[in-house]
Amino acid sequence: MDRTESLPAPVRPDLVALLLSAAEAPPDWARTITPQARLDADLALDECELATLGSLLLECYGPVADLAALRGRLDLEQLAELTVADLQRELLPPGATGPGPATATATAVTVGGADR
Amino acid sequence: MSRFLIVVPPLAGHVLPAAGIGRELAARGHRVAWAGSEAVLRPLLGPEAEVLGTGSRLLRPQGGHGLAALRSLWEKFIVPYARFTEKALDRAVLEFRPDVVLVDQHTPAGAIAAHRHGIAWASLAPGAMELGRPFRALPQVERWMLDHLGGLWQRAGLPAAGFTDPRFSPELVLALTGPALTGPDPFPEHFALVGPVLTDRPAVPGFPWDRLEPGRRRILLTMGTLADGVSADFHRRALRAVELCGTGPDRPQLVVAAAPELLPGLPPDAVALERVPILELLRRGQVDAVLCHGGMNTVGESLSHGVPVVAAPIRHDQPFVAAQLAASGAGLRVPFPRVGPPGLAVALRRALEDPGLRAAAVRVGGSLRANGGAGAAVDRLEALAPGSAAGIPLV
């Protein structure tokens, strides 16, 4: 990942919405979605939730937002360090906001998401 | 009669199903020996078992989740345990002279020893960890695993050109699951999906059967034997969720597989013990729903008794098993790090009350049972032994 920017951009609301959906999380979980948050260690997304996120990204932004292809190029170390900012920079088309959470439909069969 | 050597890691969840296969082999007149840590194997296998000790060393996969857990599993357990046991396993193979070696996928040194001596070997996949190559979308992660295994192969002095992945016998891979969970995608011919092993297990002394209240609905909570470090907070949420499932006698009684001192706020009517006779509880019809980590044994055994499962997967193969469970319609998946008591209570109430979920659990469980369990596993193992109709001669 190219991390030459000094300050990562704030996380776009459309990406936050997709992460909330993939994680089956309530709105207040959005507080944990910072640019520096790692998908693995900080957001604790497992492989199935990441697959769901990948499907949502493709659905919203098309083939340019291919999370599976991005992760498929990384080694274990890089995968562990992959952040929300990396996703935003590598996958989200600049300026586009996507269709947003209204059409984001998680594919995982999950109930009772985060409501701690 | 043939001679079978079973190589297992010092992990109860791996030993117990293998023990069922070992008992079935013995019941058919075969001689069975075990290679592994005697300190762990003896209490689980009983005094009569023939154990070829590999020595004991406290090597355990560490806690955590996700990629850190995967790294820990390989770097703190699979590889060092293989190095620690390689000589002892080689000796065990030479001394016992088995016709077939059955090797747990987490003990690659057993496969390497069998291969080195030209003995037929089968792999035992007690979970979904490698079965469907869950990391196939991450080629560098798969490469990293293979590099570890290649290192063990090389260390054993075997030629690199002949490398065989020691997790996957080219002759037989026994998996304790079935198509009702893995889905319609076919596996190679030499993969035998035999379903869970449901043969009797050693009794758990001191389990207070008299405390199970007649007429109460009951939830079994078990998060696996290696999850103490990460389960404390989940246990707290689970206890609160059960409170939300009803009041008075309508509230389900809890049976928890964890030491009671780790469970602050445990209701007085709950039964909590470090070791719980899960299979026996299920067999006696004493469990109405299971809340677990999505371990393959617990999921398979619960469904085989028609009991719906709520899975909160922590790591390794558990997210994949939980996803298979949810896709089968026989259970629900909840996010372990994020689910709160209200959401968990919704899932538990569904597991207790939703007739569709229960019907699916019965259907999927019936299908898993039909895969044959220990009997089917032993049929396939016998066919590997030299001298059997389908046997393969010693090299």
Say if A108 falls within a structural domain: no
What is the number of other CB atoms lying within 10 angstroms of the CB of residue B95? 12
Q: Which residues of chain A have pLDDT under 50?
A: 100-114, 116
Least CB-CB distance to A76: which of B137, B144, B337?
A: B144
Question: Which amino acid is residue B199, in one-letter code?
Answer: T
Per-residue pLDDT reduced to its tens digit, B221-239: 999 866 666 788 899 999 9
The pLDDT, as a whole number, for residue A110 is 39
Question: Which amino acid is residue B357, in one-letter code?
Answer: L
The pLDDT, as a whole number, for residue A100 is 46
Question: Which amino acid is residue B53, in one-letter code?
Answer: G
**Complex ipTM value:** 0.87
Which residues lie closer than 8 Å to B205 by C-beta, 6 or more apart?
none
Both B177 and B216 in one domain: the answer is no
Say if A7 falls within a structural domain: no
Instruction: Give the A:B interface size as CB pairs under 8 Å.
Output: 110
Task: State whether B319 and A47 contact (CB < 8 Å).
Answer: yes
Domain count of chain B?
A: 2
Both B235 and B186 in one domain: the answer is no
Q: Which residues of chain B have pLDDT under 70?
A: 58-63, 128-132, 225-229, 388-395
Which residues lie closer than 8 Å to B342 by C-beta, 6 or more apart?
A112, A115, B241, B244
Task: State whether A72 and B138 contact (CB < 8 Å).
Answer: yes
CA–CA separation, A9 vs A94, rounded Å? 12
| CATH code, domain with A20 | 1.10.1200
Least CB-CB distance to B141: which of A49, A76, A113?
A: A76
Q: Which of B199, B196, B220, B198 is nearest to B367 (CA)?
A: B196
Over pLDDT 90: what percentage of chain A? 68
Domain that holds residue B117: 3-195+371-384
Both B179 and B260 in one domain: the answer is no
Both B167 and B284 in one domain: the answer is no
Q: What angle do CA A58, B136, B332 make, to 5 degrees?
A: 70
Say if B297 falls within a structural domain: yes
B322 touches B344 (CB < 8 A)? no
Q: Where are the alpha helices (H) located in chain A, listed in sequence order?
A: 13-22, 47-61, 67-72, 76-81, 84-91
Closest-CA distance of chain A to residue B360, Å: 15
Question: Which amino acid is residue A91, in one-letter code?
Answer: L
Domain that holds residue A68: 13-103
pLDDT, mean over chain B? 92
Helix (H) or strand (E) holding B205: none
Query: What is the residue-wise DSSP string for B6-75?
Result: EE--S-HHHHHHHHHHHHHHHHTT-EEEEEE-HHHHHHHH-TTSEEEE------------HHHHHHHIII
Least CB-CB distance to A114: which of B70, B326, B338?
A: B338
Both B159 and B233 in one domain: the answer is no
Q: Which residues pair with B173 in a beta bridge?
A: B123, B191
Both B174 and B70 in one domain: the answer is yes
Per-residue pLDDT reduced to its tens digit, B47-66: 999 999 998 776 665 567 88
Both B226 and B117 in one domain: the answer is no
> Is the minimum CB–CB distance between B233 and chain A shorter than 8 Å?
no
Give pTM, 2 decimals: 0.90
Q: Is the dihedral of CA B213, B214, B217, B218 positive or negative?
A: positive
Both B175 and B109 in one domain: the answer is yes
